[in-house]
Amino acid sequence: MALNAQRPADNQYVDPAAVQADVATLKKAADKKDESGFVEVLVNRSTPHLQAVITSYGTSYKSLSKVIKKAFSGDVERALLHIVHGVKAKRDGRGEWRDAKLLEKSMAGLGTRDAQLVYRLIRASWDRQRFERIKSAYERRFNKPLLARVKGETSGPYRDALVMLIEGVPKAST
């Protein structure tokens, strides 16, 4: 379903009736622990529409994140939460706050999850403007620059490569 998604543009009008219909769909799906209802709504709606759905659901029932955590587990839970946390208007509505938390999660606790850290840094650095916003969100959330955190968790040439990735590789002069 996710691969066949038909997400509309984010500049379309948010219809309050459609928002309430999606809230009802999610409530019914949550009661039945039916992932297809969640996937249908979360994958096929625009960001502003999902923000309205998340807010409305939280007002009528409880936090959609908590409902997902209670109803699902494993990959389905993580995928649904990834979508919800990426569009939540409460933070930035663009997923930067979520991505900052995921970067920290890859370094938190005993031992760094290297493959996860590398994947998340490469993915984040693909769009430099967005990566700058992620780094800013990271610093606001964890009171430490991402660069300092990565330097403290890594060493050697591996560390040097990640530092270059975070700082941005300078362009060669011509």
Contact 2, 79 (CB under 8 A): yes
Instruction: Fold for 94-174, please state it.
Output: Annexin V; domain 1 (1.10.220)
Please provide residue 150's backbone torsions phi and psi, each rounded to the nearest 5 degrees. Answer: -65, -40
CATH of domain 15-90: 1.10.220.10
- Please give the model's pTM, rounded to 2 decimal places: 0.66
> What is the reported pLDDT for 79?
87
C-alpha closest to that of 39 among 17, 60, 11, 68: 68
| Sequence-ordered strand ranges (E) for the chain | none
Q: Domain spans of the chain?
A: 15-90, 94-174
pLDDT at residue number 123? 84
Q: Write down the H helix ranges in the chain.
A: 16-32, 35-43, 47-60, 64-71, 74-87, 96-107, 114-125, 128-142, 146-153, 156-167
Per-10-residue mean pLDDT of the chain, 174 residues long, equals 70 91 94 90 89 90 91 90 78 75 86 86 86 90 92 88 83 52
